[in-house]
Amino acid sequence: MDRLDAMTVLQAVVEAGSLSGAGRRLGIPLSTVSRKVSDLEAHLGARLLVRSTRSIGLTEVGKAYVVATRRILEDLAEAERAAAGEYEVVKGEMVITAPIVFGRLHMVPVVADFLRAYPETDVRLVLADRLLHLVEDHVDLAVRIATLPDSSDVAMKVGTIRRVVCASPEYLKRRGRPENPAQLAEHDIVTFSALAPAGAWTFGRGAGEQVAPLRSRLTVNTAEAAVDAAIAGVGLTRVLSYQVADAVSAGRLVTVLDDHAPDPVPVSLVYPVQGLLPLKLRAFLDFAAPRLKAAMQ
């Protein structure tokens, strides 16, 4: 039995929450995942997983073993990066994640220029409006557009983005233009669930902050869908300014309630704490940060 391989499979099972999820993540059959975990348990003479028809959990022994093996695998990965020269030369692969529209508009051009500048690097750019876990999803760097909670991750702020409320000219002609947040209760609303809860939006700043109740006629999980629905006249939506910049410029959407806008949302480059920062990541931070700051001015 290859114990390092079995440890890797076990970590994947824990991170994915299931044997089948681990198989999909690793690209191996479910039967292989199950056999490797069983072989590891037989080798240790201890049960690591509690299996049920709906979920998988860790035994107390399993919890301690997973913590220890995660440290072993992280140390091994760092040793391999050092041996491959990633601490001496800008080379190797990076996994970077960003929200879909921001990534398409801002990260793709930056990454393209970076790859031309550093030909020994490769980037896997994952664009998603859901948050990927930096460690569990093996992400080197994430763009976060939000006020960040306290964590052990390192964050580099590169700018801010405004939240805007907008609708199509046809909708505003039909239903009227809201002059204050309280009037939103009289309107149809399209909610982008990743940006705000469906039941209310916050406006104003500091002591002048107010919460406006609203009725969400349509809730979507991507900004693009919210923008498309607003253009189609379904109702008012709130998204980030860059997500509607083209539609506003083209006259397909009109912003409203600009005088009541809340504080801008911070944009940060976030990466997990690790020992020695690989040169590829340091090079990308130095390369990307000033370009993103300039793009958001």
Question: Which CATH number do you get for residue 185?
Answer: 3.40.190.10
Both 273 and 240 in one domain: the answer is: no
Both 67 and 190 in one domain: the answer is: no
Q: pLDDT (tens digit, 9 = 90+) per residue, 197-240?
A: 668 899 987 767 888 999 899 999 888 999 999 999 999 999 99
Domain count, the chain: 3
Give CA–CA dist 253/247, Å, rounded: 6
pLDDT at 82: 65
Both 53 and 182 in one domain: the answer is: no
Both 167 and 289 in one domain: the answer is: no
pLDDT at 83: 66
Both 235 and 271 in one domain: the answer is: no
Token digits of residue 95: 């996994």
User: Which of 83, 109, 133 finishes a domain?
Assistant: 83
Q: 234 versus 150: which is more confidently predicted? A: 234
Both 269 and 125 in one domain: the answer is: yes
Q: 100 versus 233: which is more confidently predicted? A: 233
Residue 281 sits in which domain range?
A: 92-160+265-295
Both 179 and 249 in one domain: the answer is: yes
Does the structure show a pLDDT above 60 at 86?
Answer: no
Token look-up 């997973």 returns 66
pLDDT at 173: 96
Full-model pTM: 0.66
User: Which of 55, 83, 111 finishes a domain?
Assistant: 83
Q: What CATH number did the domain enclosing 36 receive?
A: 1.10.10.10
Both 31 and 115 in one domain: the answer is: no
Both 226 and 274 in one domain: the answer is: no
Confidence of residue 79 (pLDDT cuts 50, 70, 90): confident
Token look-up 């790859």 returns 115
Residue 207 CB coordination number (10 Å): 5
Q: 120 versus 52: which is more confidently predicted? A: 120
Both 177 and 230 in one domain: the answer is: yes
Confidence of residue 275 (pLDDT cuts 50, 70, 90): low
User: Which of 48, 66, 83 finishes a domain?
Assistant: 83
What's the rounded mean pLDDT across residues 138-142? 91
Both 177 and 241 in one domain: the answer is: yes
Both 250 and 269 in one domain: the answer is: no
**Among candidate residues 225, 230, 250, 245, the one with its CA nearest the CA of residue 162:** 245
